[in-house]
Structure 1
Amino acid sequence: MKLSSFEEIIRLQFNAYMMITIKGTVRYRRKQRIRRLEHEALFCEIPEIKQNSQNNYDSYSIDFSVFQVWNFSIKVSDEKLGTALHKLSEKQRNYILLYYFQDMRDREIAELYHVSHSSVSYMRNKGLQKLQALMNERK
């Protein structure tokens, strides 16, 4: 079936547009690869001193105090803080952990526990005072 001259022009324009787009994409990918290669270094080219400074630290479950609050497992790596948190009441500990480790606001915590946000704020602040006293006591 023979295309009309109008359809032939449209097909040629579309082909030209596609070729321009493909060439642009190829150029962009090439520039992107060159930029990446400028910043990356092969491991074999890195001096041994820098290789040794790239330390890897393994963390094991015995290095953490783990607290279970609602669906969250919250790991605290500081031994003093973990011990002090264990000495707080459960509500104070949960409010502090949710606020500082899960980045929840007082209103969100209040909704979880079905209490007012002012009582959450009060309990959290009292817990922080007690926590600070416990931490200073252990020094």
Structure 2
Amino acid sequence: MNEPIRTQWQIRCAFNGYCKRALENEMLAAKRDLKRRRRREVTFSDLTPQEEHQLYTCDEYFANDEAEKSFVVAGKEITAKLLAEALHSLPDEKREAVLLYYFFDMSDVEIAKLLSIPRSTVQYRRTSSFELLKRYLEEHAYGKNDW
């Protein structure tokens, strides 16, 4: 009867030893990796100007921005300036609902709480704004292809 208890004790001791060995090996591997990394690391103050220049790039996409960027949709040219004017043409409360929803990624419920108005009002302001924006853009967009 004393034998099974002894076996359990031996199993527990063997497992304990295995866990300690595994942790010790992980610690040694971590120390080795840190030592290797320290040998290869260079501080920014030790870099030459040529090496510093290799660490970054400059986006040249808008560098040559003589012409205003635009896109053509359904034969109409829409510019950033025209889109901004269209948004400014909206009443303040409708513009605020559209900007919070699309540019700040807020839900109608979150906007309603922020503005202390019902959710249905937020939805109405947002959806009715599209008709106003559509009408403004149709009237003011530059036609590429007059259909």
TM-score band, normalised by the shorter chain? 0.5 to 0.7
Percent of aligned pairs sharing the same letter: 30
Are residue 55 (structure 1) and residue 60 (structure 2) matched? yes
2:101 to 99, 102, 117: 99
Q: Flag the structure with more relative contact order, 1 or 2, with Cα contacts below 8 A and sequence separation at least 6.
A: 2
Name the counterpart of 2:119. 117
Q: What amino acid is aligned across from residue 78 of structure 1 in structure 2?
A: A
Q: CA deviation at 1:18?
A: 3.8
1:1-139 matched pairs, under 5 angstroms: 18-26=27-35, 29=37, 55=60, 57=62, 78-139=80-141
Q: TM-score, normalised by structure 1?
A: 0.52
Q: Which runs of 5+ in 1 are unaligned?
A: 1-12, 34-41, 46-50, 64-76
Alignment root-mean-square deviation, CA: 3.8
Q: What amino acid is aligned across from residue 28 of structure 2 in structure 1?
A: M
Q: CA deviation at 1:17?
A: 6.0
Q: TM-score, normalised by structure 2?
A: 0.50
CA–CA separation in structure 1 for the residues paired with 2:140 and 2:27? 71
Aligned residues: 94
Q: Which runs of 5+ in 2 are unaligned?
A: 1-20, 42-50, 69-78, 142-147
Superposed CA offset, 1:49-102 (max 9, x none): xx9xx62536xxxx9xxxxxxxxxxxxx91111111111111111000111111
